[in-house]
């Protein structure tokens, strides 16, 4: 959840930071948000949430986490903070914490597709694949074009060797989000790794490449798989 929040209008440094943030000047925005916290209002939720977003973008996850936790001290069910904290925990393989923050966010909004997704991934990481699948399906129902949920469901089905279900979920994902290079890539690797169908893998890698020409790894893998087919 990366949208910008609104700082208090009476906080001039925060307003300057917000302008820099909107203009993509993330380093400048970070500096101004930090000055705002130090000089104006250390508890401005808008500033803290925005600094968290900027810090994540600048790969300073530690500062981002600190910002979101500070927000939760004054607003224990803040959905934005819960989503971002659960995402950071999932990224760091801290699945128990990810589960807890996801559940906290769902108390605020039980239809939050991001909290449902993070809960599903956390449960999968904790070994509860059945409950993980339930929550990932809820995430898809809440936002049918949310590609990461389809990809996570694929991983669960493949782990359980339910390959036909994995194939179905990927086909559904492509149907609702045909412009996603990521889901075409996932389908390609499904064919490569689980079906041993290199020709189909190449077909979907080519589709992924057409959608994201800047990803040179697609072409490299197409070349590698083509060589394997020719050499067979």
- Domains in the chain (CATH in brackets) are 1-75 (1.25.40.10), 89-143 (1.25.40.10), 145-232 (1.25.40.10)
Alpha-carbon gap, residue 91 to 82, rounded angstroms: 14
What per-residue confidence (pLDDT) applies to 4?
54
Phi first, then psi, for residue 48 (nearest 5°) are -65, -45
Let me know the angle formed at the C-alpha of 178 by 173 and 182, rounded to the nearest 5 degrees.
70
Per-residue DSSP letter, 76: T
What per-residue confidence (pLDDT) applies to 220?
97
Alpha-carbon gap, residue 85 to 91, rounded angstroms: 10
Q: How many CB atoms lie within 10 A of CB 161?
A: 9
What per-residue confidence (pLDDT) applies to 6?
62
- Please list the rounded mean pLDDT of every run of 10 residues in the chain (232 residues): 56 86 93 89 88 95 96 93 97 97 96 98 97 97 96 96 97 97 97 97 98 96 96 75
What per-residue confidence (pLDDT) applies to 8?
57
Phi first, then psi, for residue 17 (nearest 5°) are -60, -40
What per-residue confidence (pLDDT) applies to 1?
47
What per-residue confidence (pLDDT) applies to 7?
59
Phi first, then psi, for residue 186 (nearest 5°) are -60, -40
């Amino acid at each position: 959840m990366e949208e910008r929040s609104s700082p208090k209008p009476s906080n001039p440094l925060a307003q300057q930071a917000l302008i820099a943030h909107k203009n993509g000047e993330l380093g400048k925005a970070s500096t101004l948000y930090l000055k705002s916290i130090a000089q104006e209002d250390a508890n401005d939720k808008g500033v803290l949430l925005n600094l968290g977003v900027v810090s994540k973008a600048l790969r300073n996850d530690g500062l981002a986490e600190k910002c979101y936790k500070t927000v939760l001290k004054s607003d224990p069910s803040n959905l934005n903070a819960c989503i971002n904290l659960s995402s950071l925990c999932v990224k760091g393989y801290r699945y128990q914490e990810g589960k807890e923050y996801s559940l906290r966010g769902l108390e605020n909004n039980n239809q939050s597709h991001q909290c449902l997704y993070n809960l599903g991934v956390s449960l999968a990481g904790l070994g509860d694949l059945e409950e993980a699948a339930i929550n990932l399906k809820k995430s898809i129902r809440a936002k049918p074009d949310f590609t990461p949920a389809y990809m996570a469901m694929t991983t669960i089905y493949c782990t359980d060797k339910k390959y036909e279900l994995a194939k179905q979920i990927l086909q559904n994902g492509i149907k609702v989000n045909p412009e996603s290079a990521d889901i075409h890539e996932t389908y390609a690797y499904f064919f490569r790794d689980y079906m041993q169908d290199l020709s189909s893998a190449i077909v979907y890698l080519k589709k992924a490449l057409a959608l994201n020409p800047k990803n040179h790894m697609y072409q490299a893998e197409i070349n590698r798989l083509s060589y394997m087919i020719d050499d067979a």
